[in-house]
Amino acid sequence: MKRQKITVVIIKNGIISIKTAKSTVKGEARRTNPSISARERIRGCSYMLFLILRVPIQNSGISVHFASSKNLKYTSNFINVPRAGFEPATTVSFSNNKKFLRDLENFKLFAKAKLNLSQGTVYHYTSKIRTFMINRKIVTDRDVQEYIEKKKQECCLDYVSNIISAFKAYFRDYKGLTFMSGYRHPSGPLKFKEEIERSKVRKFIEAIDDLTVKCMAILLASSGLRKSEVWNLKTSEINRNLRCVIPNCHSRETKQSGISFYNEEAERILEEYWKQESIKNKYDRLFIIGHARFLRIWNRAREESGVCLKPNDLRDFFSQEMGKALIPDRFIDIFQGRSPRNVLAKHYTPQGIRLLREIYDKANLRVLVE
């Protein structure tokens, strides 16, 4: 393709003259800050050229030459997010896959540092964005709409909601594209949960042939903690005298850590674990185990016991048994970390923890005994 040369000249007061071999187009670079320099206005010309040509410059086969009264001459590519004062971009483009992968690495740092997202959330977000961007060089609002509508027909609504969250973090927060602000998260119907029988939980835990995973399972069932909280639990977060567990692994806005306890059955298995395992490590972690090994042992226990349970099912089992014991919901929420921070703060005292321990003991929770 023969490349066409375009000369952009900045005149006074932000008036831009775009000259081609066939015609000349003049326009005004609208800006709110009169102190914007000539160089910044020139960079904004990329967006104006995109509005005129209707395609990104880097994909149009056009060579763009910028000039000003100050002899600022250079070639510019299409800018995804224009400088302040110019109208926002409505599209994003990548000329090759390497640039996209490099941009995705920058997004990971942005998500963890600015959006305060966890490592797991960043991993899932980048996976969804990478899947969406396969064989795409230009992305518009309509492309996102069609993709989300397609996923609504193929996937569950919770998964679609996660896709929207990932796109908002990438396109809106990171790339500055405002069209993602209008997307609402879909909500599906309530799902009926069957009762988790104690005998099945006992059979499953007894089938686990690894002491580390067995400790994690009994803690999940007797304390109601999340899998991530048990996984990252530190020895300093356990009060062995009160059998109290106060995890402190959440620094995000979406989740809170609760104040929970574990029963005598879990205490016996933990004592056995502390005797056999060396838990002194750099990060004071209670359980040192890789994700692949954990899944391998967990799936083996499923096959041997014939009981299909997920780690979150043991958390649900805790909530179910507490409800059967007529423990008020507000205390179950404190145990499982669903209460607001100000409510947790009221019980974050020696007296408050002893009161919670008394309420926990009233449930007389048993996992391994019929």
What confidence tens digit (pLDDT) does each residue in 198-225 have?
999 999 999 999 999 999 999 999 999 9
- As a whole number of angstroms, the distance between CA 74 and CA 64 comes to 8
Q: Looking at residues 93-122, what average pLDDT do you find?
A: 86
The arrangement of secondary structure in 97-182, i.e. its CATH architecture, is Orthogonal Bundle (1.10)
Question: What is the reported pLDDT for 55?
Answer: 37
Question: What is the reported pLDDT for 253?
Answer: 56
**What confidence tier does 361 reach under pLDDT thresholds 50, 70, 90?**
very high
Asked: is 198-363 a CATH 1.10.443.10 domain? The reply is: yes
CB neighbours of 211 closer than 8 A, spacing ≥ 6? 269, 272, 273, 276, 277
Coil vs helix vs strand at 313: helix
Question: What is the reported pLDDT for 350?
Answer: 75
Coil vs helix vs strand at 234: strand
**3-state SS record for 106-117:** HHHHHHHHCCCC
Coil vs helix vs strand at 6: strand
Question: Where are the chain's structural domains?
Answer: 4-89, 97-182, 198-363
DSSP letter at 213?
Answer: H
Domains 97-182 and 198-363 share a fold: no
DSSP letter at 277?
Answer: S
CB 46 within 8 A of CB 80: no
Instruction: Report pLDDT digits (tens) over 323-357.
Output: 999 999 888 988 888 877 666 667 667 788 888 99
Q: Is residue 74 scored above 90 in pLDDT?
A: no
DSSP letter at 74?
Answer: B
